[in-house]
A and B are shown apart, each in its own frame.
Chain A
Amino acid sequence: MSGDIVITVNGKLHTVQSTPDTPLLYVLRNEIGLNGPHFGCGGEKCGACMVLVGAEPRLSCHLPVSEIGRARITTLEGLIEEGELHPVQRAFIEEQATQCGYCVNGMIITTAALLWKNPHPTDEQVRTALDGNLCRCGSHLRILRAVRRAELLMSGKGSE
């Protein structure tokens, strides 16, 4: 049973040791050693565990690893290319868009997915996209500003 599942995470193949019903989150964190996706609620209600499955933001705390198939998983770490932070990550630094930063994984993943699909979203579209991501520190306004900065950076209009 174990060892049959192979998943692609951040461009690399991994043979999964866990049972097929194991939620993807624990495979990513404990087998592959990633820190981006966090356990927040275990009930798909807060967004802390978000990853990209293909280009779709998905909650990983319930998603069985056996359902991933050939889809490419990208985590927060995987957004970094050749040592260069993704524009969304840069935007979050430039806007200082966290307090504790525990939820920031889901915020960045959601934003990246949104801006790929819709490079110039309205304010309402941004807020709606982020409504499934909870932040307890109240960093919402900074996160919204970071989305706008990321929009500029991704369309090549932003500065460092």
Chain B
Amino acid sequence: MMTDQGSRKRGRRGSGRQESFWGQLTTWLDDWIEINPDGTVTAFSGKVELGTGVRTALAQIVAEELDVPFDRVHMVMGDTQRTPDEGYTAGSMTISSSGTALRNAAAQARLILFELASRKLAVHLDELNVQAGVISANRQPQRKVTYAELMGGKHFNIEVPANVTVKDSQTYTVVGKSTPREDIPRKVAGESVFIQDLRLPGMLHARLVRPPSVGAELISMDERSLAEIPGIVKVVRRNNFIGIVTEREEQAILAAQALKVEWRESATLPTMQNLYATLRSRPTEDNLLIDQGDFDSAWKNAHRQLHATYYQPYHAHASIGPSCAVADVKEDQITVWASTPGPYPLSGTLAKLLDVSPEKVHLIHVEGAGSYGQNGSDDAAADAVILSQAVGRPVRLQWSRQDEFVWEPKAPAMVMEARGGLDSQGNVVAWDYQVWSPSHVARAHSPEQLVAGQLLSDQPSAQFGFSFGAERNAPTNYSFETQRVTVHYIADSPLRASSFRSLGGAENTFANESFMDELAAAAGVDALEFRLRYLSDERARQVLKSAASKAGWESRPSPLKTRGNLSQGRGIGFAWYENDQALVASIAHVQVDISTGAVRVNRIVVAHDCGLIINPDGLRNQIEGNTIQSLSRALKEEVMFDEWRIKSVDWESYPILTFSEVPDVDIVLINRPDLPAVGAGEPSTTTTAAAVANAIFDATGARLRQIPFTPARVKAALS
């Protein structure tokens, strides 16, 4: 059964290249788990750490199922020569996909180790137990053998069967515990952790000279403008792509600022004033998701008709560390270190960019700053590859802050329109929801989908193949008898768009849950009570009631009639993520300064049910982060542009929430050990905006339907 390391069958690890979104999940045990001679365990995941702590959670799963101490599990993640191909790390899928595969692999490994031990110790399987990787006989504890001794440096050489028996979650001792994150001690001590910290021997530095606007063409470039700057290795110019490679980093920064270039720009963007009208007017691909009952007649016959439109601007991922990548392009081997969410797919795209076979590109994921979706990391990898190819040496490319703001793909702008009919008793008798959105997925399967590919080829930016993401949480989980839900995909996004946490889930929830609040207010019914009327599922009801109980929710219709200059109110938002994943309810307590329109959020309560909880503190960390980040997006964030250029280029023109503005966040975790663990990376990013908008309405009677809720917009809504 077992083979030596040398003659080891590789399974499918490292031979993926399928470029499918979720990769090609291997069932070969050795692709997932290795028992090392020193007693440690190496576990392989094709997913990557994006700053959310999944490395720790996956190691917990392996440690639990294999009965080894957590600190003996070493995770290797996202390396096209070492790990399985699991496509992209996206959609809060890491725990459910990679976690399940690792759990099954570890369970199979444990079973085999028990069989080996049974033979070696001549003790029946039922008479054996394991502690910390040591199997011993129940009645004769001196008869024992370690995992490492049993394996003897060999491999399992076997498939993981689909029906492998895993542990009963009731017996868990590692999973479900708040295991401290293994990366935090290294990060607080200043160890080399991030892609930005990677240094190779002979490595050169580089900065880009990007066009001032998307679609600008290079007219002229005068290299003599760099005569005074030392250390210039090469100014790499290919069509509209310019990068400067230097011996030292500061030289590249100076050179990128000093290079004299002339560009021909054109007005390719709508104005901010026309953005939403433009989105609505572009050709669409229309998907009717729900068509239940006869909406038109129900709407016509409704006692009251409500109609509202909500607006979501472009948002930047705005990673705190601008994108960075290191590439070493040699004749026979191309190695790229990048903080990409999809090592396998990116390796294939870079191979196309360089016109080499995919096997030549070895992509190694190294952590970057938090990305929250697809930011500039893949683009930076392509830039680095082109620059290294041009100079024949390893190159570290660092994007500037402005490169990141202008050239990262953005969370798409969207328009959401809702119509609802109430009968004379205040029941919802008709519900119609439509959303206009560009695709939220723009993964780079061809070089033209990367900035460098566009600048090199002079082709208009390639469209993205399939439309995805705007349907997420467009349908609600409310039991409306007559309802219609339609997604209109806009083929042509004014700004390049990509995934941001929850895709359209946050924007659809903002609109749906604001509109629920409008209906509740029109019916004169308490907002929580109104929602519960349309939810029979016990988990859904519990998550709402738990939030309400923690928040001290007082049942009454909104808005509050009392008015001072500082008006206070509370609002609720609820989502069942993707309609069948995690459940979240958020309640915001706000204070609105009527004279200035400034909104102060004092407290947000979040109740959260994502099935079995793997790591409670890690989960709390994620929920806190999602809540604060989504609050920042709701209150402050909007990518500004004119017809020519993106104007949000730094932290002053794209401000985010600061310490003085951060509210208290109180979290209620609902653990369901009997239910599968579903993703928790994104769900709690969806409910904040609606909770805040509804709280502003409760406080003031003013309805905010456009993100962000700036003081000017609040004042306008008040008047």
Contact = CB atoms under 8 A, between A and B. Distances in A.
Contact of A136 (B192, B318, B617, B652): B318
A157 B190 CA distance: 26
B183 interface: yes
A99 B51 contact: yes
Contacts of A98: 181, 184, 187-188
A122 interface: no
A126 B50 CA distance: 28
Interface string B669-706: 00000000000000000000000000000000000000
Interface string A40-57: 111101101000000000
Contacts of A144: 659, 662
A23 B369 contact: no
A60 interface: no
A134 B659 CA distance: 8
A140 B662 contact: yes
A157 B632 CA distance: 35
Contact of B650 (A43, A96, A130): A43
A68 interface: no
A139 interface: yes
Interface in A1-50: 18-19, 22-23, 26, 29-30, 33-36, 38-43, 45-46, 48
A35 B320 contact: no
A146 to B, nearest CB: 9
B248 A30 contact: yes
Nearest to B371: A100
A102 B400 CA distance: 16
Contacts of A97: 184
A4 to B, nearest CB: 16
B533 to A, nearest CB: 33
Interface residues of A, number: 57
A130 B657 CA distance: 12
Contacts of A108: 188
Contacts of A96: 180-181, 184, 617-618, 621
A12 to B, nearest CB: 15
Contacts of B197: 35
A104 interface: yes
Contact of A137 (B367, B370, B400): B370
B190 A93 contact: no
B369 A80 contact: no
Contacts of B370: 99-100, 102, 136-137
Interface stretch (B27-35, B462-470, B556-564, B623-631): B623-631
Contacts, number: 169
Contacts of B652: 45
A76 interface: yes
Contacts of B367: 100
B191 A40 contact: no
B321 interface: yes
Contacts of A80: 189
B647 to A, nearest CB: 16
Interface in B544-583: none
**Most interface-central of B187, B192, B400, B651 (chain A CB within 10 A):** B187
B176 to A, nearest CB: 16
A43 B52 CA distance: 27
A30 B650 CA distance: 25
Contact of B320 (A103, A127, A141): A103
A22 B254 CA distance: 10
A139 to B, nearest CB: 6
A35 B192 contact: yes
A99 B431 CA distance: 39
B269 interface: no
A144 B624 CA distance: 13
B16 to A, nearest CB: 27
A131 B187 contact: no
B14 to A, nearest CB: 27
B455 interface: no
A98 B369 CA distance: 11
B319 to A, nearest CB: 6
Interface string A85-101: 10001001100111111
A119 B361 CA distance: 53
B320 A18 contact: no
A26 B250 contact: yes
Interface in A104-154: 104-105, 108, 124, 126-128, 130-131, 133-144
A46 B51 contact: no
B180 A142 contact: no
Interface in B242-291: 248-250, 253
Interface string B166-206: 00000000000000110111011111111011010000010
**Most interface-central of A85, A93, A102, A133 (chain B CB within 10 A):** A102
B25 interface: no
Given A41-B650, A102-B51, A108-B188, 16 more contacts: A22-B250, A39-B322, A43-B650, A43-B651, A98-B184, A99-B370, A100-B51, A126-B659, A127-B659, A127-B662, A130-B659, A136-B318, A136-B369, A137-B320, A141-B662, A141-B665
Interface of A: 18-19, 22-23, 26, 29-30, 33-36, 38-43, 45-46, 48, 75-77, 80, 85, 89, 92-93, 96-105, 108, 124, 126-128, 130-131, 133-144
25 contacts: A29-B249, A35-B193, A36-B190, A38-B194, A48-B320, A85-B189, A89-B189, A93-B185, A96-B181, A96-B621, A98-B181, A98-B184, A100-B52, A100-B370, A102-B319, A102-B368, A108-B188, A124-B660, A133-B659, A134-B651, A136-B318, A136-B370, A138-B627, A141-B664, A142-B621
Q: Which 10 A-B residue pairings sit nearest by Cβ, starting from the closest?
A: A100-B51, A138-B628, A36-B190, A100-B370, A101-B187, A102-B369, A138-B625, A76-B190, A77-B190, A127-B659
Interface of B: 50-53, 180-181, 183-185, 187-194, 196-197, 199, 205, 248-250, 253, 318-322, 367-370, 372, 398, 400-401, 617-618, 621-622, 624-629, 632, 650-652, 656-660, 662, 664-665
